[in-house]
Amino acid sequence: IYKPKSPPTILEWSLILGHQTAAQEAILHASGNGSTLPSKDYCMLYNPHWTALPSTLENATSISLMNLTTTPLCNLSDIPSTGIKDRAVAVQWGTCHFLEKARIAQRGGAETLLVANNSVRYPPSGNKSEFHDVRILIAFISHKDLKDMKQTLGNNITVKMYSPSWPNFDYTMVVIFAIAVFTVALGGYWSGLTELENLKAVTDTEDREMRKKKEEYLTFSPLTVVIFVVICCVMMVLLYFFYKWLVVYVMIAIFCIASATSLYNCLAALIHKIPYGQCKIVCRGKSIEVRLVFLSGLCIAIAVVWAVFRNEDRWAWILQDILGIAFCLNLIKTLKLPNFKSCVILLGLLLLYDVFFVFITPFITKNGESIMVELAAGPFGNNEKLPVVIRVPKLIYFSVMSVCLMPVSILGFGDIIVPGLLVAYCRRFDVQAGSSIYYVSSTIAYAVGMILTFVVLVLMKKGQPALLYLVPCTLITASVVAWRRKEMKKFWKGSSYQMMNHLDYATNEENQVIPGEQAIQQ
């Protein structure tokens, strides 16, 4: 899980710039004389550790803007004869380092250096310790915005720069917490309902054998768990080196297909509970409900709309979160860990995987950035993002900061699915044991782990591998419950669950289902 630094900054900026520039959004308020639009706000990026800005427009100083984008400003001779004293100088990125441009501008008496870049989203990094004598404000603006400023406001422009304060409380953590806990709890409960339906099913021998093969196909054995983690590691490395091709042509396509299917499965389960609108159409001897045909079209349409408008920051995140929640729910319900042993292996290995790719890879990569963080934010200059996260942006539509990209908090699907598989196993074990203690306690443990993750995130002001806190909380809690109930051996080996898979079910003379130990004994 990652969260913008405090004061919040856009995730991509803070991750790419790191400690060298510590990028933060600010507002450039431009005013023109005689223009039909007397003023207009633009987004800019600056380093608050280098130069401080006022928090309100009223306290900002008005400075005349001089456009020098036609000159490199790498030498004193590039300063025009009219001078740049007490001006805000706009220059083009390139030719020499922007800090060298700032040194020249400062020697000419300028107040501010505005560097026009192709994308303010990814400004270049720099180490100011090499330019310790530079004291003027250095900010980055979009070249597109600078052009719009000239066309809209004319040539005689004055600017005011300020950085509005952000609220101390970040509600995105509450939203992500609610989404994560809801998805894990519902997915685990749904898995338990499926287990209960299997126990109550009374069919002929052929149907039992078909269901048994299907369950074995969806069940993770310890060996399957290890192979799965190895595949995850290989995919992570491939994504790092071939991000552009794999994300655009492979990962987005896979996500659309998988999420649309998952959304259909989730909604179809609800529709089947509704006793109305069950008319069917028959094609080649097979019948299908009309409402399910419309449902499949709706799910496909949602996935297609997201794929087309996935980079629309204002609302595309809503569709991605809906598809992501359905994807996580479907996997938690479908994938089954047969025993606590497999749970420990899977969660333990993925914990090491998460920690390695977040904390260890910075010592290996050339740019000193962790592979996990860079893939979460998207490599430098690439607007495409991996669609494997829940995204919750700050809603700033009615704020002056709406001219900037929205800062966003994200939670990876793995931080929901992996602990969710343990919660689902606890729920299925409860179904066999006729209790609910394992499911309730593991769900509460997951919630506590999420809170602990947020606390560390706020204190350290740095992205955290959530599994580092979720895995110990859930595994330790489940172990303590099993130990206190004196069921650790059965819980560890999953003996009742595995034997139920082979026996499928057992009935007494009255043809009633007998769950748990009684079924195994018969």
pLDDT at 263: 95
Q: Which element (helix H / strand E) includes 90? A: strand 87-92
Q: Are 179 and 447 in contact (CB under 8 A)?
A: no
Q: What is the pLDDT of residues 408-440, one digit of tens each?
A: 788 889 999 999 999 999 999 998 888 899 999
Q: Are 453 and 473 in contact (CB under 8 A)?
A: no
Largest CA distance in the chain: 105
Residue that has been written with the tokens 């991000």 in this structure? 243
Token couple for 378: 């998207």
Name the residue among 350, 334, 410 with its Cα closest to residue 377: 410
Q: Are 8 and 394 in contact (CB under 8 A)?
A: yes
Q: What is the pLDDT of residues 310-327, one digit of tens each?
A: 888 778 889 999 999 999
Distance, in Å, from the CA atom of 197 to the CA atom of 274, rounded to the nearest integer, reads: 18
State the DSSP string of 352-375: HHHHIIIIIGGGTSTTS--HHHHH
Q: What is the pLDDT of residues 182-225, one digit of tens each?
A: 999 999 999 998 888 877 764 444 455 555 444 444 677 788 88
What amino acid occupies position 337?
A: L
Q: What average pLDDT does range 332-336 have in this prediction? A: 90
Given a cut of 70, whether residue 480 has pLDDT beyond it is yes
Token couple for 311: 């980079």
Given a cut of 70, whether residue 306 has pLDDT beyond it is yes
**Residue 391 pairs with which residues in a beta bridge?**
410
Tell me which of 298 and 241 has the higher pLDDT.
Answer: 298
**Residue 330 pairs with which residues in a beta bridge?**
none
Given a cut of 80, whether residue 236 has pLDDT beyond it is yes
Q: What is the pLDDT of residues 24-83, one digit of tens each?
A: 888 999 998 765 667 889 988 888 878 889 989 999 999 999 999 888 899 989 999 889
What amino acid occupies position 110?
A: A
Confidence of residue 258 (pLDDT cuts 50, 70, 90): very high
Distance, in Å, from the CA atom of 139 to the CA atom of 488, rounded to the nearest integer, reads: 60
Region of 336 on the Ramachandran plot (φ > 0 left; ψ -120 to 50 alpha; else beta): beta
Q: Are 427 and 189 in contact (CB under 8 A)?
A: yes
pLDDT at 382: 56
> Among the ranges 141-155, 158-172, 222-236, 430-444, which has the highest mean pLDDT value?
430-444
Confidence of residue 504 (pLDDT cuts 50, 70, 90): very low
pLDDT at 446: 97
Q: What is the pLDDT of residues 430-468, one digit of tens each?
A: 988 888 999 999 999 999 999 999 898 888 767 678 899
> Among the ranges 303-307, 352-356, 517-521, which has the highest mean pLDDT value?
303-307
**Residue 138 pairs with which residues in a beta bridge?**
113
Distance, in Å, from the CA atom of 424 to the CA atom of 15, rounded to the nearest integer, reads: 34
Tell me which of 277 and 68 has the higher pLDDT.
Answer: 68
Catalytic residues: 354, 415
What is the number of H-type helices and E-type strands within the chain?
Answer: 18, 11
Given a cut of 90, whether residue 152 has pLDDT beyond it is no
**pTM above 0.85?**
no
- By mean pLDDT, which of 122-136, 138-152, 276-290 is the weakest? 122-136
Confidence of residue 8 (pLDDT cuts 50, 70, 90): very low
Distance, in Å, from the CA atom of 223 to the CA atom of 55, rounded to the nearest integer, reads: 57
What is the crossing angle of helices 290-308 and 252-271, to 10°?
150
pLDDT at 4: 38
Q: Indicate the average pLDDT of the chain.
A: 79
pLDDT at 507: 42
Tell me which of 277 and 428 has the higher pLDDT.
Answer: 428
Separation of CA 520 from chain center? 44
- By mean pLDDT, which of 143-147, 177-181, 421-425, 447-451 is the weakest? 143-147
Distance, in Å, from the CA atom of 128 to the CA atom of 137, rounded to the nearest integer, reads: 12
Distance, in Å, from the CA atom of 71 to the CA atom of 78, rounded to the nearest integer, reads: 6
Q: How many CA atoms does the CB half-sphere of 407 hold within 13 Å?
A: 26
Query: Dihedrals φ, ψ of 158, to 5°?
Result: -115, 145
Q: Which domains does the chain carry?
A: 24-162 (3.50.30.30), 171-203+214-245+334-495 (no CATH)
Q: Are 161 and 27 in contact (CB under 8 A)?
A: yes
Residue that has been written with the tokens 């054995």 in this structure? 221
